[in-house]
Structure 1
Amino acid sequence: MLRIVDTRTGHLVEIPPVRRHLLSICVHLSADEAGIGLGDLRALLVGDVLARTAELHGLQSRTFLTTPDLPHEQARALERAMSALGAHPPATVGVHHPNGTLGAAADVHVHAYGTAAQAGDGGVRIDVGRVGPASREGDVPDRAHLLAPGLLDAAVPEGTDPLAVRMLMLGHAYRAPITVTGTALEEARRTLGDWRQLVADWAQEPSRPIPADVLRHAHAVLADDLDVPAVLDALVTVATRADVPAGAKFETFAFLDRVLGLDLAREVGHQHRAAT
């Protein structure tokens, strides 16, 4: 059973609301003059993780995406940014409509920061917290660059894995505001690199089952308001547990990456190819 807090009521509700095996998700990007920005990308990631979590719990999912009426160049930039961040492409993409017809009957509506509910929206509403890069003067988010065709360019230094942005965002509760700083990005990049190397090392050892307590905990926190930061914390703990064999650590990281989407097995096999 998946439960998430409905912004309208502040209460946990079960999704989907009736016993069936399809979860319908509609992600709403901002329609203001600021255009598509990092907050919109965060909403996309929340929708993506929700869909992945549903699938982990045995549900099929279908995602719709509503956007402003974007110029072709910005629409292509949005597609590239979604791909770079590892978000599964939505089943349907449409422009905001006054009647809110696209995805109106969705089970869950994920709203980027600052978006308003559309007429006809039913289901559960999730409001995603604000996100932005820090200005040079301090930690005040600066949206000035966000109309640029390269949505990630100003937030991700050249040569940085865009999935470090995904990891940074997943490390915060989806309702909490985030300020993207160079320090935070570097920490996410370093952790991501360390985990990939560990996974590659563990993959060389015999496979072992995922510890039952870890699996129960991960399922529970994901099902209870999509607590992805708790999953990341669990991986930190598993990595250092002396009672968990290397093969079990590999299986744990690989399994939970189905939700996290961080490509944690990227380095598996690279040592062998380098040696030959």
Structure 2
Amino acid sequence: MLRITDARTGEPVDAAPARRGLTRVEAHTQGLDPTNLRVLLTADLLVRALELGGTPVWALLTGERQRAELRAAGAALGVRPFEDGGDTGTPLGEAQVLHVVSEGGATPDGVRVAVAPAHGEAAGFPDGADPAVLRLALLAHPRSTPVSIGPAVLADAADTLGRWRRAVADWARRPSRPIPDAVRADLRTAWEDDLDAPAVLGVLRAVETDPELADGARFETYAYADRLLGLDLTRDLGSPA
């Protein structure tokens, strides 16, 4: 069960209701800048985690400034489509509301998921560069920790992403093997514990170098984790060795 820290109380709460029902995830933004892009990315990660757990989700984007520009920037980062938020009322069957907001932001009643500021180049990624590099750079830091996205951070993320994509393409040429139960449990524990994306990335780093794992199991692990991370890790499948 995914548990998330409610910024109103500082206590963890169940992100999905005990009784099966619709969960609304609402991203509250105030324009296009690195912090608001991080808010939208966190909301996307939350939607993905809930859907992986079988929870139906209604994803909304609320904000009066530069909503179209933010939506376009999010799409480039692999953020799934969010409907326009606002005065939406309460849909039939809604059982939980999760508001994703920058630190200190006010929201209506519901669980508040706070996101620390981001600074640097996040809103103005260089033309022609792979946006997944920026996504990885942002996911590599806990959402409660401020992050500065500069050339060194992006270069490190680009190296990691390129290495992983090449490895996944290579592992795909080997016989498939199931994800080990312990590895699957480590992944689920990581993202169900307050949506800890850095811990998920840590599991992938351990899988990458574990001499006991078959390459086919590594491939399945990375493909499974990417359903949450959205880094397009299988992009280079079928490319020349």
Q: Same fold (TM over 0.5)?
A: yes
Identity score, percent: 41
Q: Give the Cα–Cα distance (whole angstroms) in 1 for the partners of residues 42 and 137 of structure 2.
A: 13
Q: Which of 62, 65, 70 is the aligned partner of 1:66?
A: 62
Counterpart contact for 2:62–2:85, Cα < 8 Å = yes
Aligned alpha-carbon RMSD (Å): 1.8
Q: Which of 115, 128, 138 is the aligned partner of 2:115?
A: 128
Say whether residues 1:86 and 2:78 are aligned partners: yes
Q: Give the Cα–Cα distance (whole angstroms) in 1 for the partners of residues 145 and 195 of structure 2.
A: 13
Q: Give the Cα–Cα distance (whole angstroms) in 2 for the partners of residues 172 and 103 of structure 1.
A: 34
Pair 1:103–1:8, CA change in 2 (3 A):
farther
Say whether residues 1:8 and 2:8 are aligned partners: yes
Pair 1:76–1:5, CA change in 2 (3 A):
closer
Which structure has the larger Rg over C-alpha atoms?
1
Q: How far off is 1:103 after superposition?
A: 6.7
Counterpart contact for 1:131–1:179, Cα < 8 Å = yes
Q: Which of 36, 46, 49 is the aligned partner of 1:50?
A: 46
| Gap runs ≥5 in structure 1 | 96-100, 135-150
Q: How far off is 1:113 after superposition?
A: 4.0
Listed as ranges, the matches of 1:1-276 within 5 Å are 1-30=1-30, 35-68=31-64, 70=65, 74-90=66-82, 92-94=83-85, 101-102=87-88, 107-117=97-107, 121-133=108-120, 152-153=123-124, 156-271=125-240
Counterpart contact for 1:64–1:103, Cα < 8 Å = no
SS at match of 1:270: coil
Q: Give the Cα–Cα distance (whole angstroms) in 1 for the partners of residues 67 and 191 of structure 2.
A: 31
- 2:74 counterpart letter in structure 1: M
- 1:236 counterpart letter in structure 2: R
Q: How far off is 1:36 after superposition?
A: 2.0
Q: Give the Cα–Cα distance (whole angstroms) in 2 for the partners of residues 231 and 166 of structure 1.
A: 14
Q: Give the Cα–Cα distance (whole angstroms) in 2 for the partners of residues 252 and 21 of structure 1.
A: 29
Counterpart contact for 1:25–1:109, Cα < 8 Å = yes
| Gap runs ≥5 in structure 2 | none
- 2:9 counterpart letter in structure 1: T
SS at match of 1:26: strand
**Larger deviation, residues 107-116 vs 220-229:** 107-116
